[in-house]
């Protein structure tokens, strides 16, 4: 059985990646996960991500990516990983401001969010180093350059 990756578009932005690209990036980020893993990647606008950021993280304003791990008991027999929410206007603006290809930044944030669902974090230097190494490995395998070589921060620190 293969991964079940639900891609949802809830953004007015027209220049978002195709479902196939999001699924390709997701599968690469799920290399160590069981083959029947399920997750959702939802592309949204500022209003929705701002609401989610406030409601679930008690943070005001927009962010580029949020990850919501599923809380499913193991006895349920499901490999439901959770949801990754990405704000299209923020991703596009960040890519432009950082001088990055939009596609590469999209790929990075999809991978970043899915790694969060798998327990990776960046709350301290050791965690950040481990997560960044994993992100770079996945992105290079996908044909993208190291997003950290520019010195720009990847994602919102809470992402």
Largest CA distance in the chain: 46
Strands 38-44 and 80-87: parallel
Residue 62 near residue 87, CB atoms below 8 Å: yes
Q: Quick check: 90 pLDDT over 90?
A: yes
Return the DSSP state at 73: -
In the chain, what are the domain boundaries?
4-141
* Paired tokens of 105: 């930044």
pLDDT band at residue 152 under the 50/70/90 scheme: very low
Residue 48 near residue 85, CB atoms below 8 Å: yes
pLDDT band at residue 154 under the 50/70/90 scheme: very low
pTM for the whole structure? 0.90
Tokens 């990516």 sit at which residue?
A: 65
Candidate CATH numbers 3.40.50.1220, 3.40.390.30, 3.40.50.10190, 3.40.50.620; the one for domain 4-141: 3.40.390.30
Residue 148 near residue 108, CB atoms below 8 Å: no
């Amino acid at each position: 059985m293969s991964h079940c990756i639900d891609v949802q578009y809830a953004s007015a932005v027209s220049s978002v990646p195709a479902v196939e690209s999001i699924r390709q990036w997701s599968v690469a980020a799920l290399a160590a996960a069981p083959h029947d893993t399920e997750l959702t990647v939802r592309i949204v606008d500022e209003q929705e991500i701002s609401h989610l950021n406030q409601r679930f993280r008690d943070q005001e304003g927009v962010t580029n990516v949020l990850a919501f791990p599923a809380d499913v008991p193991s006895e349920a027999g499901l490999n439901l990983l959770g949801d990754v929410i990405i704000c299209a206007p923020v991703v596009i603006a960040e890519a432009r401001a950082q001088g990055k290809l939009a596609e590469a930044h999209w790929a990075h944030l999809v991978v970043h969010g899915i790694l969060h669902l798998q327990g990776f974090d960046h709350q301290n230097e050791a965690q950040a180093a481990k997560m960044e190494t994993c992100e770079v490995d996945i992105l290079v395998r996908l044909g993208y350059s190291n997003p950290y070589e520019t010195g720009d921060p990847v994602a919102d620190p809470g992402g």
